[in-house]
Chains A and B, each alone.
Chain A
Amino acid sequence: MTAKFHETLGADRLESKFPDAKPLYTESEAYYEANRCLFCYDAPCISACPTGIDVPGFIRKIATGNIKASARTIFEANMLGTSCSRVCPVEVLCAGACVFNDLNGEPIHIGRLQRYATEKALFDEAETGRKLFEPKPDTGKKVALIGAGPASLACAAYLALEGVKPTIFERGKLPGGLNTTGVAPYKLHAESSLDEVSWLLSHGVDLKTEVEVGKDVTADQLRRDYDAVFVGIGMGDDRLLSFGNENNPYVLGATALIEAIKNDAGFQLPPGVKTAVIVGGGNTAIDIARQLAGLGVEDVSMIYRRTAAEMSGYKHEMDYARKEGVTLVENARPVKVHQEEDRVLGLRVASTVTDQETEIACDLIVMAVGQESRVHALGLDIEVNDRGHVVVDLETMRTGREGVWAGGDCINGGKEVVNAAADGREAALDMLRSWGLQPRKWRYSPSV
């Protein structure tokens, strides 16, 4: 399975230019870091984790050399514990809550320890064939999951281990969702995402790629053929502000560009790009800014309509970006693209304070101002809010429609992989309970 995915992915991708920012710990690195952990009681890192992983518990097991049990502790709470260890913004989650911030300013490197435990255990599983988790006997239940991103993958893995037969329908060629197509390559390459997907599928999850619900198969068909449907479709295309030029090859959507960098064999930036302007202040904006800087674009700036303090992008990410040469223009909104035929010459921007217009010379513009909802494309009659996000009960992940659950970015417009993993788990466990089936005692701390 992994080999097939890697083949689909192809070689010669731009993302391979980015080395791993935080490489896998060596045994001694893991040993000393794990032993630094105080093993707090009711640890703040647990409460800060959207999946409620018993962080001190898994770290203690690393310290004692009990790696397999450490990995189980992680996966029971978060089936995507491997990728989350690399893509989670630990600075604002577990590590941000670590008591060492107050003790000596050096929080435990929880993400790196989690990566060590999960990767070591999965490597050992592959070597020995001794599975970390064995599925329960077949319950006869079947679930269709729409979209092969983190939410569906987590949901499907728990279901498979609980004896339910999950089938994931993915419209693209590759599974993994944003882990495969969108995560910054210095955190996670597509290959690693696909390896994780292969492991999750190995518990008995069926995956159908290049099958689009709403087109190749109808949602009603799924509702008829399966005991439950889980909607984990993430978000759709990049939103482009309506100032024209949508078809200019030098005005690109951020997630589309990132996907091309990560997945498209032979993809190159448009020729001659030296100066880029990113519109947006979220994490996707920072991500593409850093990637363009890393790919050699000499001058990368971000424009954001309010101040840095109000950006939704994380401060620690913006700090990294600044170090890499990215500049931020605050209180500015895009007005018009200055172009000559197909070439972009600059972006006219207006101050959101004074309305005064200026032009930023550039030859590439990347729009990172959010993505469109594509719930409507499913043809599934479920309630969405005014932003197009699926409305669910957050305790159960149930939509208003009988037999339909949802989670991940499609319910919140784009949070972290770890949030999607939590949603998927909660949906899976709620489905089981709705059928009167008692799930096994998965160890995690309920969200507070």
Chain B
Amino acid sequence: MADLSIDFCGIKSPNPFWLASAPPANCGEQVMRAFDAGWGGAVWKTLGVPITNVSSRFGAVDYAGSKVIGFNNIELITDRPLDANFKEITETKKKYPDHAVIVSLMVESKEEWRDIIKRSEDTGADGIELNFGCPHGMCERGMGSSVGQEPAVLKEITAWAKEYSSIPVLVKLTPNIGDILDPGVAAVEGGADALSLINTVKSIIGVDLDRLTLLPRVGDASSNGGYCGPAVKPIALHMVGALARDPRITIPISGIGGISDWRDAAEFLALGSTSVQVCTAVMHHGYRIVEDMIEGLDNYLEEKGMSSVHQLIGRAVPGFKDWGDLDLNYQIVADIDADKCIGCQLCYVACLDGAHQCIHTDNGPCSAWHGEPDHGMNPRCEVAPPQRHEPRIADKPHVPWVDEAECIGCNLCALVCPVPDCITMREIPNEAGPESWNDHVAAGKA
């Protein structure tokens, strides 16, 4: 078994899997159950001046029979009394001394920050996380993402926290900005011990087409919320990666955004996260998902010959290059495995309508009701419609084929193919050697 334990700016955790500051980390009873299930740490639901929440506060995007591929909320910070929260944090940390307990905080004035940090420290918590990310409700009161969107303010408040806190300070960033490096660098300059990101993306989850109002509907209206879940993972990866490769970011990163399983987690770790935080997947399926995350990551590390999770962290960071440095001579083409092909022709129509018209079929007359647009592009087409082509594979006439001379290697066909490993992208050897756009520019060719 690989060593999954991490040291995150001095915070020790038995594994990199933490609950994000959100409903699954709302109270002591929940967090303790999560630790029992296997979670290595938890960032407590944000504490601050108590608020009142609305009823009807979550919304989701379903897609083609899959539930909650995207999720949004208009819930605010904790609506439970601070005393209760601090009492439960103390109990939790006492009962689970080896787990990471981090308290998320969001208040306004310097005095409020001083007081709440003091009380957080008194619980025995391992760290605090400054919530500069929440894009709904609290930002309108000058907190949350309204801080994360102003690097100077973010830096100043971070500095306050560092002034008062003797435990590590994480700064949680909002993705609702132009360049994640601006708040990231500001946090480092403010003295933050670590970054966590992304918080939710400002969103409207949908429109109620019967009542013609917004979702999630609160009476006859709704408000913008924060979007998260599997659909935001690529956005989060981009921002985590951007920070991880910037030399000014010298502090560890806790990756957040659509992490649902060990694969997602491994990707965030490879792209520079030291820990990962999970909310939506737990809200969807419960704490039990961590079992697969632990075992999956362990098996993966073992297969890759890594004895510790620390050996994975940041390994994919150098894989990022500016577009101008990518090799323009790298060429791949699609290969369709006729044995595996089931003849759905999703690759064909995707290429025909959505890409470069280089996949062809033989199973119908070229002038068939749907086939006509393809006729002129079909290099095999020497017969006048409506005659048929002889299928290349007599007993599987529905198998499409790739005109390799025309294939630009865009991957679309492989992406839409429902059969595992049926369409693969094959590299065409290139004798010219790599050449990038920037090479072209340098050589005066562009």
* Residues of chain A having any CB pair with chain B under 8 Å: 31-32, 34-36, 38-44, 63, 99-100, 102-103, 445-446, 448
Q: A35-B64, A102-B342, A445-B369 are in contact. Are A42 and B419 (CB under 8 A)?
A: no
The smallest C-beta distance from B351 to any residue of chain A, in angstroms, reads 10
| Complex: A103 Cα to B418 Cα, angstroms | 9
Interface size class of B (residues with CB under 8 A): 10 to 19
Kindly identify which residue among B344, B363, B368, B370 contacts A38, using a CB–CB cutoff of 8 Å: B344
In residues 349-378 of chain B, which contact A (Cβ within 8 Å)?
A: 349, 361, 363-364, 368-371
- In angstroms, Cα B66 to Cα A36, docked, is 10
Contacting residues, chain A, for B364 (C-beta < 8 A)? 42, 448
Residue numbers in B under 8 Å from A99 (CB-CB): 342-344
CA gap between A39 and B371 in the complex, in Å? 17
Instruction: Give complex CA distance A44, B370 in Å.
Output: 14
The answer to whether B65 and A103 have CB atoms under 8 Å apart is: no
**Could you list 11 examples of A-B contacts with CB < 8 Å?**
A36-B65, A38-B418, A40-B345, A41-B346, A41-B348, A42-B370, A43-B345, A44-B343, A63-B65, A99-B342, A99-B343
Within 8 A of A (CB), among B416-436: 418-419
Indicate if B202 sits at the interface (CB-CB under 8 A): no
Q: Is the CB of A41 within 8 A of B65?
A: no
Within the complex, which residue of A35, A44, A100, A446 is in contact with B398, where a contact is CB–CB below 8 Å? Answer: A44
Q: Are A31 and B363 in contact (CB under 8 A)?
A: no
- In the complex, the answer to whether A41 meets B419 with C-beta atoms within 8 Å is no
Known: A32-B65, A35-B64, A63-B64. A41 touches B342 (CB 8 A): no
A40–B361 CB distance below 8 A: no
Q: Would you give the shortest CB distance from B345 to chain A, in whole angstroms?
A: 4
Q: Other than the known A35-B64, A42-B370, A42-B371, what 8 A-B pairs have Cβ atoms closer than 8 Å?
A: A40-B343, A42-B348, A44-B398, A99-B342, A99-B344, A102-B342, A103-B342, A448-B364
Partner pick for A41 among B344, B369, B418, CB 8 A cutoff: B344
Cα–Cα distance between A274 and B15 once the two chains are bound (Å): 71
Please measure, in the bound complex, the distance between the C-alpha atom of A103 and the C-alpha atom of B417, giving whole angstroms: 12
Contact of A40 (CB < 8 Å), options: B64, B65, B344, B369:
B344
A100 CB contacts on chain B under 8 angstroms: 342
Chain A hits for B346, CB < 8 A = 38-41
State the total of A-B contacts with C-beta under 8 angstroms. 48
Interface string of B110-136 (1 = CB under 8 A from A): 000000000000000000000000000
- Docked CA distance A148–B64 (Å): 41
The answer for the CA separation of A38 and B344 in the assembled complex, in Å, is 8
Cα A31 to Cα B62 in complex, Å, equals 12
CB proximity of A35 to chain B, nearest CB, Å? 3
CA A249 to CA B199, docked complex, whole Å: 82
**Among A35, A42, A100, residue most surrounded by chain B Cβ atoms (within 10 Å):** A42
- Determine how close the nearest CB of chain A comes to the CB of B121; give it in whole angstroms: 51
Q: Which residues on A sit within 8 Å (CB–CB) of B345?
A: 40-43
Q: Which residues of B contact A31 (CB under 8 A)?
A: 65
Instruction: Return the chain A residue nearest B63 by Cβ.
Output: A35
Report the 8 A-B pairs with minimum CB-CB distance, sorted nearest first: A35-B65, A41-B349, A41-B345, A99-B342, A40-B344, A102-B342, A99-B344, A38-B344
- The residue on A at minimum CB distance from B420 is A103
In the complex the two chains form, is A42's CB within 8 Å of B363's CB?
yes
**Across-interface contacts of B348 in A (CB, < 8 A):** 41-42
Which A-chain residue is minimally distant from B352 (CB atoms)?
Answer: A41
B323-358 vs A, CB cutoff 8 Å, 1 = contact: the mask equals 000000000000000000011111011000000000
State A34–B369 Cα separation when bound (angstroms): 25
Chain A residues, Cβ within 8 Å of B368: 42, 448
For A41, list chain B residues within 8 Å (CB): 344-346, 348-349, 370
In this complex, which of A41, A44, A446, A448 has the most chain B Cβ atoms within 10 angstroms of its Cβ?
A41
Within the complex, the shortest CB–CB distance from A141 to chain B, in Å, comes to: 28
The smallest C-beta distance from A276 to any residue of chain B, in angstroms, reads: 42
Q: Which of A31, A39, A44 gathers most chain B CB within 10 Å?
A: A44
Interface residue ranges of B233-281 to A (CB < 8 Å): none
**B65 engages A42 (CB within 8 Å):** no
State which of A35, A102, A103, A446 has its C-beta within 8 Å of the C-beta of B369.
A446
B residues less than 8 Å from A445 (CB atoms): 369
Question: Which of B342, B348, B361 is the most central at the interface, judged by chain A CB atoms within 10 Å of its CB?
Answer: B342
Query: In the complex, what residue of chain B is closest to A42 when comparing beta carbons?
Result: B345
Complex contacts, B369 vs chain A, CB 8 Å? 445-446
Cβ of A27 to closest chain B Cβ, rounded Å: 13
Complex Cα distance, B340 from A103, in Å, reads 9
- CA–CA, A32 to B64, complex, Å? 9
CB of B392, distance to nearest CB on chain A (Å): 16
Q: With A and B bound together, what is the CA distance between A63 and B342 in angstroms? A: 22
Nearest B residue to A52, CB-CB? B369
Contacts of A35 in B (CB 8 A): 64-65
Q: How far is the CA of A34 from the CA of B64 in the complex (A)?
A: 9
A101 — nearest CB in chain B belongs to which residue? B342
A39–B369 Cα gap in the complex (Å)? 17
Tell me, rounded to whole Å, the shortest Cβ–Cβ distance linking A77 to chain B.
13
A35–B363 CA distance with the chains assembled, in angstroms: 26
Nearest-neighbour CB distance to chain A for B415, whole angstroms, equals: 14
Select from chain B the residue with minimum beta-carbon distance to A446.
B369
CA distance A218 to B349 in the complex (A): 54
Q: How far is the CB of B372 from chain A (nearest CB, A)?
A: 12
Chain A residue contacts of B361, Cβ below 8 A: 42
List, in ascending order, chain B residues with CB within 8 A of A38's CB.
344, 346, 418
Alpha-carbon separation in the docked complex, A32 to B66 (Å): 9
A residues within 8 A CB of B363? 42
Taking CB atoms, residues of chain A closer than 8 Å to B349 are: 41
Task: Give the residues in chain B near A63, CB-CB below 8 Å.
Answer: 64-65
Q: Is the CB of B419 within 8 A of A103?
A: yes
Distance, CA A38 to CA B363, complexed state (A): 19
**Nearest CB of chain A from residue B69's CB, rounded to whole Å:** 13
Residue in chain B with minimal CB distance to A64:
B64
Residue of B nearest to A445 (CB): B369
Bound complex: CA A31 to CA B66 (Å): 11
| CA distance in complex: A196, B311 (Å) | 68
Q: Which of B56-107 contact A (CB under 8 A)?
A: 64-65
Kindly report which residue of chain A lies nearest to residue B365, judged by CB atoms: A448
Q: In the complex, what residue of chain A is closest to B350 when comparing beta carbons?
A: A41
The answer for the CA separation of A356 and B370 in the assembled complex, in Å, is 58
Q: How far is the CA of A40 from the CA of B398 in the complex (A)?
A: 11
Q: How far is the CA of A44 from the CA of B361 in the complex (A)?
A: 13
Closest residue of A by beta carbon distance from B416: A38
**Docked complex Cα distance between A182 and B344 (Å):** 36
Q: Please name the residue on chain B nearest to A60 by beta carbon.
A: B64
